[in-house]
Structures are given as structure tokens and as C-alpha cells.
């Protein structure tokens, strides 16, 4: 049952709709008469151990709605990964402030933090309800059909490649766009959402679910270029060789790691540059350009899937509902697709999600490992929402007969 | 007078609204009863010499409207810069096809191409009307208050930095975003359009109008970081040292140049990476991230200023009007700001615009050369249009009193 004080925090990388989940959890919690205060911890679990709390009960609905529509974590975030001692500190603070319910909005690492906090509470007979609320642009949480944040990020990637495709058709050449996604290729695969006509790019898509072979890559690019006079490539930042070594870590002088031991893949343009250099060196193609999409993918103001907004709000509100009615102390809210297209929400076991990684299923990737299948488009299309812009082209069959015929 | 056959082409880098100008010119031209055909040259002037024409008279209004709303050059573009021989070829083809009017949509280089074609016609007594229609995201055409394409690109940069600001507030550190703009800093300065609250980034803005000093840059970043615990920097790709040498060309192994002799600044993430390395090396700040915005700035699907759309359409339509009514053979359509906010359009001399570069005026840049002034915001704000999304934050004054007070 929801009562007394409820605490909410946000962890990991921000998304375009993570604040919808925050607002959903706040507003739904406050509807239960036993709930006196809803607190927010600043910068995730680190804000708990530092007692950095805001009293969100003092927020008006109007401002909460405005914050909900704002991208990124309004409470701030953290990459901290609690260990045993950290959990003891969290427990001590929660007890001191008499907090009975903790909602943690986050991805794989945050769900594992929620698991640790929940298990520590159980072990120490601390009467705490701990529910994980899903979010991650990477779309790599187990059990979930997809995760809040992914549809909007996918819309960004689709919109970017749809524009790049037009640009590249106007000024021909090779274009390599590097997309976020360490282990799961969903974000990179979403580049295909920007295709309209049969010859639209991206013409090649390289995912971390498959081994990346530089020689094969150059040969693939050359083949497309020879056919169309241009070639657009979507590449996941997480591409790796047969040994599992990321292509980027082969090329970087220093490799930066976070507290979770993850190599820093974003915030550097190195991968796109090196892949472009490779094409220039091994082919005679002169115009080769590369971009690394970087942080814009998860934060760009105004690029939001309406489906994503609704679902992100729902998982927050459902967490409050499950905390009150499910009779369970711990769990993670999960999204399940039903029909075409609707979803339902369940309270699943945290251990089924925590620190696990879902990748693209084999039937979403083509045999050659350099493109997606119609199965993936079937999966992606409803997620992009109702407001994807469209592209059109002039009718190129209306050619004017040449008079001079100089060539 | 507009009659017979009209030819339209698009040159230089694509923009989000260049097709609005194309559609404006086509539809307006067709209203004059003497106009039999409107042709479009594929890939700019190169399509003229190759006789690659589409008969745009065969396009329906519905498809033209759909194309107008699509980013990038629907006819394709070129970086070709005509010389004397090239102009003779153009002249020969135009005469063979009995084309009396030529509209060339483009930026500095394209306006210079239009000038060459016009001058060649004059010299050879070729009865040709040649009007340049402005577009460039760089906003660097003389005479014009601003140029079609810039407002939408500025909206992209504003939206990107507004999002990055939220992201960086959630996970603190230093962020360097590299923005297009070789000689003029308008695009980079537009990063300021994403600020809402007083402590919002970008906190520092480096423009090609000022000399870039790496030591001063690092010191500026450190100062902001010490004050706010974070720092967001917008940097123009065209920053250069006291000798005018671009910072990027100091760092790149090979420098690529186009037909106009311009060094390739976009399509590589090198500048952001090197600036980040510099901060990491010279300070103790650990989380330093950089992005190079690249081609998304001029092509991203769905990021359009409504003011820009209207004005881009107008300059195309005005070209047809001027060709018919002005009594002048040659000219360039220019945009002039009146009141707050409206514009009027004039037919100006091509030579006042061709191959010249407008840069930001001194009163738009602060004394230290690391930020913009309120004067620039006054200039920018109406251009972003009526549909800029907003951001909101939680009320951080609602702090919960600490109980354990561990620190």
C-alpha cells in the first residue's frame, strides 16, 4: 500500500521522455490519500546517500506537466553503482526520513541498483517497497517489448537519416553516421525508419549483434556506390571484431571507463572519422563524410514520439498503482505489446531485468549482417508515433529531351 | 517579362527550406500566361551543361507542396564553379532550349555563378534574364538581413543546445558542441537560442569573427566549471588563430578542398575531439564530451522554423515577380527586416552579394569574444518562429531538511 513518504529518483543516461515517467509517478502517488509527501532525490542514488531531496509535493500540476514535456532527467542523474556499503547508507537515509516506497527510473544499471537496494532491504528486514521504472534509449531491457525513451530516440535517428538521405542525394558521395548503442543495435537499426523510396538510404546498417569486418564493410560500400553513385551507412558505436573488441577501442589512444566498467563510446567523433578514412584509402571515392550523432540522440528538444510520451507517463503511474495494489514489495514495470498496436503493463521480477541486456532478435537482421529485415520495420513503425514528417521527390520521369546530346 | 521557358536550378549546400523557394518560383512563374514551360536543371549548373532537365510544368500542385516541405535540394545540387568556358557551355545549352529566364537558388558561391552567367550573357548579347534566389544556413549573404535556411538551421542548433543543456545538468561535466559556419558565426551564435534560465548553457560561444586562443579557451572553461560544476561550449568549425589558420587544419593530417578552394570542415569529428583532449590535458575535469553536429544541421527532417518556410517560399515567388515586372535583366532577391517583426523583399544587384561574405556585426559579440550580446538575441528570436518548444525545471527551493547531515 502506498502511504507516508514516497521517494523517486532517476538514474543513467537521460531520455526525451524520462520526465514523463517522473511526473506520472508523482501525480499518481499523490492520488492515494495515505501519501503525505513525494520526495525526489537529486542525481539518483547519490542524492539519497547525500540526503539531497526535493519535496515534489510542493510542485503544481502545471509546472509538473511542463517538466514532463522537457527532455532529460529533471532530478539529475548519476552513474553510481551501489555496492554493499552504499546500500547500507541508502537504507540508513531512507529510514531516517521514514520513506516507505522508492521508485527508481532507469535502464540496465539502474535496475540493478534497484535490485541491490531491494535485496538489502529484504535481508535487513527493512520495510521498503522498491519498484524500478524502465527507461533507456538503447531499448535493451529484458522482458519489455520496448522501453520508454527508445521510440523518441528512434524518431531522432530516423529523422536524421531521412534528412541525410536527401542531402546525400543532392550532393552525392558516401556518408557514415555513427549511432549510440553499445550492445543492442535497436537505435542504429532505427535509421531504416527514415526510408521512403526504394533507393533511399541508409543502404547499409551495421549492428553490434554481428561481427564487424572492415574489409567486408568497404566492399559493401563500394558495391552500393557503384550501383547508385552514393551510399549511406548507419553504424552502431558498439561494432566489434570477432574477438568482441570494440572497433573504436582499437583506434583510440586512451579508453575512458565509467563506474560500471563501460568504455566511453559516445562524446567522440573518432569512429566515424576512421571508417571514412578506411573508405577513402581503399576505394577511389572522393566525397566521403561521417557524423557521430552523439548526445543529440537522447536530448534534442522537440523530437518526441507521441506514443513514447504516453507510455513513459504510464509506466510511472503504473509503478504507483502496483506499489499500492499488487501486494508485492519489489518489482519492475514492464511493457508488453498486444495486437497491432497496443500495450499492457505488468509488474515483473527485478531479477529478470537487472543488469541483463536484450539484443535484437535474429529475424530482425538480414543474412549478410549489413541491414535489417521487414520484421524489424513491423516492430519499429508504430513506435515512431503519429507525427513522423514525410518526404517527397520530383517526378524524374518528366525528362526533357536533349537537343545538343553532347555526351 | 516572364515568357517561354523558365529554368530553375539549386546550388551549394542543401537547407531545410530550399525546396520552398523552388516551389515558390515554379508556381509563381506558371501564373504568367506567357510561360510555356518551367524546367529544372538536375545538380545545379552541372545539369545545365549536361542538358539534364526535368519539365516541372508536369508536376501537380499537390506533389510540389509535398516536395516544398521536404528538406534539401529536390533537383540535386553541385559545387561546380563556372569559368569562362563553362559559361559558354551554359549559354549554348540555354539558347538550344530557347530558355529566356534562369533562376539560381544558392549561397555565396552560387550567387557568384549567377553573376558569371549574367555577365557572360550581357557580354555576348544573349537575351537572358538571370536572377539569384538566396539560401544558405551560414546566413552570410551581404545586403540580406538574413537568408532562407538560416532560421531553420538556427532552430536546430538552438534545440540541440537546449537539450544538451538539460543532459549536462543531469550528468555534469564539460560539453563542447562544434557547429557549422566557416567565416560567419551566426549558426554557432544561435546556440544561445536554447537558453531559458540564467545558468543555462551554452556558457561560452566561440565564433570565427574573433581569434581563438586555446589557452584562453581552457581558462574560460575552467572558470565556468568552477562556478557551476559544469560548462557547455558552442564552437564554430571555422575558429582560427591570429594568422587566420583554421584550428582544425592545424590538427588534421590531410586537408580536403572543394572546387571553390574551401577546406572541408564538416563531416569530421576531429575538432570537437581535440578541444576535449585539450581540456582533459590542462584541467582536472574528468567528464569532458564533444559532439560535431555535422550534416544534421542543414537536413534534419521536421526541424523547420515556420517563419523560414514562409520567407523561403516568398523569395522564390518574388524572383518570378521581379523577372516579370521589374524591367531588369539581372539581380538577386534580398530580404530586409522592417519593424518587429516583418520583412520586405527587393531586387538587388548581384555584384553586391556575389562571392562576398557577411559576418556578425561587432555589437552582437561580447567584449571577451566568448559569448553573444542581447543585441544578437533580439536579432535571432523572431527568426526561430512560433513553434520553438520550451523547457521547464523543478522548483529547487523546495529542499527537504537533512536529518543525518553526514557531510
The arithmetic mean of pLDDT across residues A161-184, rounded, is: 96
Distance, first Cα to last Cα, chain A: 80
pLDDT band at A252 (very low <50, low <70, confident <90, very high): low
Structural domains of chain A, count = 2
Helices first, then strands: H and E counts in chain A? 13, 11
User: Is B267 found in the same domain as B190?
Assistant: yes
Strand partners, B233: B176, B204
- Residue of B136, B131, B159 whose CA lies nearest to B148: B136
Q: In chain B, which residues have their Cβ closer than 8 Å to the Cβ of A43?
A: 170
Domain assignment of residue A37, yes or no: yes
- Pick from A78, A292, A400: CB nearest B269: A292
Cβ-Cβ pairs closer than 8 A, A with B, add up to 284
- Interchain pair A75, B394: CB under 8 A: yes
Domain assignment of residue B189, yes or no: yes
Specify the pLDDT at position B248: 79
User: Is A272 found in the same domain as A161?
Assistant: yes
Residues 6+ apart with CB under 8 A from A361: none
Would you say residue A402 has pLDDT above 90? yes
- Interchain pair B394, A40: CB under 8 A: yes
Would you say residue A260 has pLDDT above 70? no
> Chain B contact for A149, CB < 8 A?
no
> Chain A contact for B95, CB < 8 A?
no
Specify the pLDDT at position A258: 57
User: Is B167 found in the same domain as B24?
Assistant: no
Domain assignment of residue A17, yes or no: yes
Would you say residue A253 has pLDDT above 60? no
Interface predicted TM-score of the whole assembly (ipTM), two decimals: 0.94
> Chain A contact for B405, CB < 8 A?
yes
Strand partners, B342: B338
Reported in sequence order, the residue ranges of B70-140 that DSSP labels E, i.e. its strands, are 99-106, 129-134
Q: In chain A, which residues have their Cβ closer than 8 Å to the Cβ of B73?
A: 166, 170
Domain assignment of residue A392, yes or no: no
Residues 6+ apart with CB under 8 A from B339: none
Q: Which residue of A has its CA nearest to B391?
A: A70
> Chain B contact for A347, CB < 8 A?
no
- 3-state secondary structure at position B292: strand
CB distance A165 to A203 below 8 Å: no
User: Is A214 found in the same domain as A135?
Assistant: no
Task: Name the helix (H) or strand (E) containing B40.
Answer: strand B35-41
User: Is A293 found in the same domain as A315?
Assistant: no
- As a whole-number percent, the residues of chain B with pLDDT over 90 amount to 90
pLDDT tens digits, B63-103: 999 999 999 999 999 999 999 899 999 999 999 999 999 99
- Interchain pair A171, B78: CB under 8 A: yes
Specify the pLDDT at position A269: 75
Reported in sequence order, the residue ranges of A73-137 that DSSP labels E, i.e. its strands, are 99-106, 129-134
Q: How many residues are recorded in chain B?
A: 407
The arithmetic mean of pLDDT across residues B25-37, rounded, is: 98
Q: Which residue of A has its CA nearest to B68?
A: A392
- Pick from A171, A299, A394: CB nearest B59: A394
Distance from CA of B322 to the nearest CA of A (A): 25
Specify the pLDDT at position B270: 81
User: Is B365 found in the same domain as B286?
Assistant: yes
List, in sequence order, the alpha helices (H) in A259-340. 270-282, 296-299, 306-325
CB distance A179 to A234 below 8 Å: yes
Look up the CATH number of the domain holding residue B315: 3.40.50.450
pLDDT band at B264 (very low <50, low <70, confident <90, very high): low
Q: Which residue of A has its CA nearest to B162?
A: A301
Cell 555526351 belongs to A407
The arithmetic mean of pLDDT across residues B219-246, rounded, is: 96
User: Is A160 found in the same domain as A295?
Assistant: yes
> Structural domain of residue A168, as residue ranges?
150-302+360-384
User: Is B218 found in the same domain as B204?
Assistant: yes
- Interchain pair A67, B169: CB under 8 A: no
- Interchain pair A163, B301: CB under 8 A: yes
Give the residue numbers of A annotated as catalytic, written as ranges.
138
> Distance between CA atoms of A313 and A365, rounded to whole angstroms?
31
Domain assignment of residue B403, yes or no: no
Q: Which residue of A has its CA nearest to B96?
A: A403
**Stretch 188-227 of chain B: residues touching chain A, C-beta under 8 Å:** 194
**Measured at the alpha carbon of residue B33, what is the angle toward residues B32 and B39, in degrees to the nearest 5?**
70
pLDDT tens digits, B132-184: 999 999 999 999 999 999 999 999 999 999 999 999 999 999 999 999 998 99
- Interchain pair A270, B269: CB under 8 A: yes
List B80, B109, B112, B138, catalytic entry: B138
> Distance between CA atoms of B101 and A98, rounded to whole angstroms?
79
Q: Rounded to the nearest 10 degrees, how much is the dihedral formed by the CA atoms of A77, A79, A84, A90?
A: -10
- 3-state secondary structure at position B131: strand
- Pick from A43, A69, A269: CB nearest B269: A269
Look up the CATH number of the domain holding residue B241: 3.40.50.460
User: Is B333 found in the same domain as B230?
Assistant: no
pLDDT tens digits, A266-287: 566 788 988 998 999 999 998 9
Domain assignment of residue A183, yes or no: yes
Domain assignment of residue A401, yes or no: no
- As a whole-number percent, the residues of chain A with pLDDT over 90 amount to 90
Indicate if B199 belongs to the active site.
no
- Cα dist. B124→B7, B85, B88, B127, B351 in Å? 19, 13, 9, 9, 19
Neighbours of B66 (CB within 10 A): 18
Would you say residue A126 has pLDDT above 70? yes
User: Is A127 found in the same domain as A18?
Assistant: yes
CB distance B313 to B24 below 8 Å: yes
Specify the pLDDT at position A248: 79
User: Is A368 found in the same domain as A225?
Assistant: yes
> Distance between CA atoms of A148 and A314, rounded to whole angstroms?
10
For A61, counting Cβ atoms within 10 Å of its Cβ (0-12 exposed, 13-18 middle, 19+ buried), the class is: exposed
Domain assignment of residue A397, yes or no: no
> Chain B contact for A243, CB < 8 A?
no
- Residue of B182, B291, B293 whose CA lies nearest to B244: B182
Distance from CA of A299 to the nearest CA of B (A): 5
Specify the pLDDT at position A145: 98
Distance from CA of A214 to the nearest CA of B (A): 19
Distance from CA of A367 to the nearest CA of B (A): 30
- Interchain pair A301, B159: CB under 8 A: yes
Q: In chain A, which residues have their Cβ closer than 8 Å to the Cβ of B405?
A: 51
Residues 6+ apart with CB under 8 A from B177: B160, B161, B164, B191, B202, B232, B233, B234, B235, B272, B290, B291, B292, B293
User: Is A310 found in the same domain as A365?
Assistant: no
List, in sequence order, the alpha helices (H) in A4-107. 18-30, 44-49, 61-68, 84-96
Amino acid at each position: 500500500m502506498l502511504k507516508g513518504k514516497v521517494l523517486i529518483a532517476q538514474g543513467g543516461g537521460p531520455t526525451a521522455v524520462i520526465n514523463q515517467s517522473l511526473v506520472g509517478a508523482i501525480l499518481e502517488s499523490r492520488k492515494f490519500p495515505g501519501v503525505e509527501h513525494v520526495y525526489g532525490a537529486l542525481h539518483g542514488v547519490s542524492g539519497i546517500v547525500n540526503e539531497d531531496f526535493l519535496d515534489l509535493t510542493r510542485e503544481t500540476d502545471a509546472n509538473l506537466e511542463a517538466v514532463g514535456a522537457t527532455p532529460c532527467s529533471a532530478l539529475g542523474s548519476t552513474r553510481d553503482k551501489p555496492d554493499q556499503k552504499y546500500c547500507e547508507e541508502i537504507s540508513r537515509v531512507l529510514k531516517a526520513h521514514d520513506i516507505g516506497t522508492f521508485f527508481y527510473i532507469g535502464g540496465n544499471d539502474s535496475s540493478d541498483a534497484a535490485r541491490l537496494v531491494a535485496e538489502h532491504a529484504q535481508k535487513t528486514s527493512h520495510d521498503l517497497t522498491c519498484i524500478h521504472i524502465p527507461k533507456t534509449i538503447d531499448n535493451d531491457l529484458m522482458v519489455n517489448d520496448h522501453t520508454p525513451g527508445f521510440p523518441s530516440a528512434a524518431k531522432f535517428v530516423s529523422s536524421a537519416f531521412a534528412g541525410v538521405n536527401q542531402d546525400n542525394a543532392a550532393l552525392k558521395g558516401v556518408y557514415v553516421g555513427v549511432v549510440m548503442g553499445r550492445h543492442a543495435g535497436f537505435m542504429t537499426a532505427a535509421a531504416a525508419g527514415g526510408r521512403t523510396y526504394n533507393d533511399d538510404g541508409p543502404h547499409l546498417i551495421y549492428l553490434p549483434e554481428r561481427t564487424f569486418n572492415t574489409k567486408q564493410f568497404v566492399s559493401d560500400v563500394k558495391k552500393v556506390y557503384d550501383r547508385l553513385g552514393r551510399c549511406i551507412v548507419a553504424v552502431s558505436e558498439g561494432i566489434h571484431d570477432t574477438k568482441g573488441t570494440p572497433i573504436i577501442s582499437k583506434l583510440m589512444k586512451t579508453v575512458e571507463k565509467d563506474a560500471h566498467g563501460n568504455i566511453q563510446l559516445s562524446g567522440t567523433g573518432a569512429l566515424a572519422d576512421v571508417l571514412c578514412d578506411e573508405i577513402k584509402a581503399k576505394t577511389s571515392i572522393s566525397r566521403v563524410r561521417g557524423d557521430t550523432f552523439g548526445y543529440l540522440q537522447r536530448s534534442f528538444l522537440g523530437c518526441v514520439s507521441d506514443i513514447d510520451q504516453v507510455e513513459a507517463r504510464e509506466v510511472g503511474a503504473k509503478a504507483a498503482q502496483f506499489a499500492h495494489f499488487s501486494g508485492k514489495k519489489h518489482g519492475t514495470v514492464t511493457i508488453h505489446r498486444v495486437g497491432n498496436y497496443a500495450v499492457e503493463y505488468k509488474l515483473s521480477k527485478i531479477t529478470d531485468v537487472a543488469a541483463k541486456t536484450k539484443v535484437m532478435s535474429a529475424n530482425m537482421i538480414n543474412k549478410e549482417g549489413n541491414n535489417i529485415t521487414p520484421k524489424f520495420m513491423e516492430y519499429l513503425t508504430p513506435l515512431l508515433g503519429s507525427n513522423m514528417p514525410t518526404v517527397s521527390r520530383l517526378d524524374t520521369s518528366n525528362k526533357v529531351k536533349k537537343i545538343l546530346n553532347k555526351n
